[in-house]
Structure 1
Amino acid sequence: MDQVLLVTGASRGIGAATALLAAEKGYAVAVNYATNRHAADEVVASIRAIGGRAIAMQGDVAHEDQVMALFEHVDRELGPLTALVNNAGVVDMKSRVDEMSHERLRRMFDINVIGSIICAREAVRRMSTLHGGRGGAIVNVSSAASRLGAPGQYVDYAAAKGAIDAFTVGLAKEVAAEGIRVNAVRPGLIETDIHASGGIPDRVAQLAHQVPMQRGGTALEVAQAIVWLLSPDASYTTMSLVDVSGGR
């Protein structure tokens, strides 16, 4: 039976790299996107070009009804879910806390925290042996910001990722005896276009000197950690927060 993986926010960056690498390892992959259908279709085309199974699925994780529809679509099109990567996330323009609006904070937590928890809830309902599932794995994409704080730029983002760390630990303990492993990766400075969406397209170059390895990482380097955590090779690993940050 196929290993079926849903990657949220998989049209670009770490999500796209994860979807492609997982497909190479034999997973059937649901490539979720919120708005960029063209980019998601390109990821699907790349997977199919190597003989893999993949479909693109729209769904904004900030909206519960869209998450429900997304999981139901996976059920119909790919079969029983065995893996979830909670990758969908946003940053905002750099700002001090005393300049942040309620609207900004609501968007940040709706997508980065509540959306991930709702997705995990739906995955557990399908994978837990308590619910008749066959087990599986969840990997949450956190950030090194959860322990660095991102002062003067993205304290709200760091706080949201801190919530993801705590959620990872709690959920891992909750479902460990039900065949589900739950872990997180915490990327550091990674070369993706999320920095441009936060108004600092050259952020990696600006801060690379603070990284002991003296460079930013790649989306593939993060994806390799994620796919390992999903795999049977990590069969005794749960509740782990894995830093992929070049030592920062």
Structure 2
Amino acid sequence: MTNDPDGPDRVELADAPTRQARNSATFWAATGSSRGDEVVRQRAYVAVVGSARTGSRVLIQEPDLTASECAEVLDLVRGASGPMTVEDPFSALDLGELDLRSWQMPVMVRQVSPAVAPAMDVVRVGDDTDLQAAERIVIDSFDLTSFEPYRAGELFPPALLEQPGVDVYVATVEGQPVGACVAVVADGLGSHYWVGTPSASRSRGAGRAVMAASLVDMGGLPATLTASRLGRPLYESLGYELASPSTWWASR
């Protein structure tokens, strides 16, 4: 992971939605490009159009979508061949006319502060074996049924490790993988995705460990993320604070 020495020392809470939107677009575009998905880049959104198994995702980038841009997003959602997720950190888009689930999760910010080394073994993934371990952990943790039966490299293609600023972490106990996450550094900001622990290994500190390892590697950079209800206490204990709600839409 390469730190940006010219990165900002602080992220204002009002800027957090935009900064998280940009980082999320970087991560999903990197994932889509790594597995050969179509990546659509427009002013107000970035879309990754995947298969019936990998799904598609739209990342809203601006709060002021025009009518034509809204129509384009609606067309992408209607045309998806598999699971579809729309991330809107500005809560600017109304997809209520579609048969989608909708909920809100907070964007959170961690200002520059010291990071404590993890209390268990964590590796920054560098080979296919560890990458597949991370992949299996995330599929289990998030109940990603569209990726079953398991096909190695479908969620985390090997080429993902070659994408600038993208790193995958795996925590182990007695040599057994127990937690994973993806960390992304872009434009002087870090963020986290797919922080997961399989059901059989929860409450052992694996989620904290992988995040701690990645925060240490990020050095003196601020970070944002979008928090689930279950993940929020962990993130707060690591120094994250609430910024604003983000609206998510997903196929049922």
- Name the one with the larger strand percent: 2
TM over 0.5: no
TM-score (norm 2): 0.30
What TM-score results when the alignment is normalised by the length of structure 1? 0.30
